[in-house]
Amino acid sequence: MADDQLNETERLDRAHVFGTWAYQSEVSPKEIVEAGGVRFTAADGEEYLDFSGQLMCSNLGHSARRVAEAMADQAREAAYVAPGFTTEARARLGELLADVTPGELTKTFFSTSGTEAVEAAIKIARSYTGKEKILSRYRSYHGATYGSISVTGDPRRLAAEPAIPGAIKAPDPYAYGSTLEPMESLSYIDEMLTLEGDTVAAVLVEPIVGSNGILVPPDEYLPRLREIAHAHGALFICDEVMSGFGRTGEWFGCDVFDVTPDIMTTAKGLTGAYAPLGATTVTGEIAAHFEENMFCHGHTYSGHPVACRAGVAAIRTYREEGLIDHAGRVGAYLGDRLDELANAHPSVGDVRGVGLFRGIELTKSSEKRVPFGHREDKLSKGSTVVDEVGDRAAANGTYLATMINTLIVAPPLSITRDEVDEAVSHVDDALTVADRAMVD
């Protein structure tokens, strides 16, 4: 959009604020002035059904009054205290996380984002094991700060390289575009750990890969990967920043596969995105290590009272409104509706996901999977056919995030079947853009 088509707020933002992950010449911000439920409204009066939960984080939707009121109450009581003190909000949130996370996870370090949660996980793993290397995967995203972008696999890491020492990458359980079948990648990782010797502190994965395509592993993949990591003396870290807090119809993505990590990182849904808050939660055994070994990490805003109060209210909302179970039920219906889209549109190469965490992957060819979008597009100027599909959905009234070759469906957990139907009808029309762009 040309600058003369922007309103005053949009022009000011364009002039004085960096747009993220973008060539600034292509940034054209749209002002949002109101949001409620599963919808939000732009300054030009256009209303959108939020089919991607903004950046896959608005799990509670845009009307979680309980969370907003809790934040306001905390701000009036004590807006900030240094991390050396505590508040009831921080203590209660730590207790709640120990309760809702699986297995023996029990103690949490609070930060302000998912990337900081991963940074803390890296440092904790290295301190606890006395080893340096972190094994992650190529189709992954773990954050934008130096450590977390180093263990990220997607091409946005390239601009930040050379990476931190010890960041090594493995293949993913993803047959589309890989020479390995999903379970074959485990043998590869096992061999990598053998060849690296006893130098790997942790294996770090997203239980269900988010930004790089909603990649769902086979049921037996994560339990076996945990076994392999432990057999080589490495910790098993699950990055639940995107897949956590009901997104999959379970509390966490690892719950879908009945596996417990040694360290879990969360953010986004932790407060429903009402406040910036990250969490790195560890087992009692790891926590005990730091009783007599210094926990050499911290932040000014660690355990920020307003953010922690939002987290307490968010978890209580998930529980008391039954949103986790609701996400499972409506998520199954969503999966059926997306299967219908796949059957109706030759440009849909695959639909996959769990609960309200779904991906629609596109193809140029009806005979074989040939993607419209490629990994390198994340570093390129211009738009792709996948972006054009997203733009058409937005013109129809549904916001849909696009990542490389995949449309990401991750609406607020409160979405109803009728709202799913409304959004699917908009996406149904938008997919005709990709159908027309096919090569056969």
Element (H, E) at 118: helix 114-129
The residue assigned the tokens 């997306």 is: 338
Rounded CA-CA distance 244/111 in Å is: 16
What is the reported pLDDT for 61? 97
Chain CA centroid to CA 438, Å: 30
> In angstroms, what CA-CA distances link 32 with 7, 44, 416?
12, 9, 23
pLDDT band at 209 (very low <50, low <70, confident <90, very high): very high
pLDDT of 327 strictly over 90: yes
pLDDT of 4 strictly over 90: no
Using an 8 Å Cβ cutoff, are 409 and 334 in contact? Answer: yes
In tens, the pLDDT along 349-375 reads 999 999 999 999 999 988 888 888 787
Q: What is the mean pLDDT of residues 241-263?
A: 98
Q: What is the mean pLDDT of residues 158-164?
A: 92
Query: For the chain, what are the domain ranges?
Result: 31-63+322-436, 65-320
So what's the architecture of 65-320 in CATH?
Answer: 3-Layer(aba) Sandwich (3.40)
What is the reported pLDDT for 1? 63
Using an 8 Å Cβ cutoff, are 161 and 152 in contact? Answer: no
Domain 31-63+322-436 is classified in which CATH homologous superfamily?
Answer: Aspartate Aminotransferase, domain 1 (3.90.1150.10)
Chain CA centroid to CA 388, Å: 23
What is the reported pLDDT for 375? 76
What is the reported pLDDT for 177? 65
Chain CA centroid to CA 160, Å: 20
Provide the percentage of residues in the chain whose pLDDT is more than 90.
90
